[in-house]
Amino acid sequence: QVQLVESGGGLVQPGGSLRLSCTASANIFRIYTMNWYRQIPGDQRELVASLIGGSMINYADFVQGRFTISRDNSKNIFYLQMNDLTPEDTAVYYCNAHHSNNHVTPPVNLDFWGQGTQVTVSS
């Protein structure tokens, strides 16, 4: 069982910055794909950025150049640095750890989620 705890959300003005943190209960970054998702009430949860295998990084098109993910292996923390925020970035942001392996029997498919942290961008 992996526990994830997010922090760092809050209210920020347009153009401002926030850094979200996701503290994992164990050193899992090489084994699990670490993801940041966000969700607006009434909408589906959407993928923001991913850290794969501890080094490969992917970003959604809508955050390219504005958001950056990183990790601190010594503290088991996964970060999302968000710059140049707009009101459209307002959402609850979730940290996710995903691991799957179809080469074993039975196949493994694991997902762990944090509780979410609210980000509100408003003047």
For the chain, give the longest Cα–Cα distance: 53
- Are 51 and 33 a contacting pair, CB within 8 Å? yes
Q: State the pLDDT at residue 27.
A: 87
Q: State the pLDDT at residue 30.
A: 83
Positions in the chain short of pLDDT 50: none
Q: State the pLDDT at residue 64.
A: 79
**CA trace torsion 118, 57, 4, 101 (10° rounding):** 130
Burial of 97 (0-12, 13-18, 19+ CB in 10 A): buried
User: Helix (H, G, I), strand (E, B), or coil: what is residue 46?
Assistant: strand
Q: State the pLDDT at residue 111.
A: 94
Place of tokens 């909408």: 43
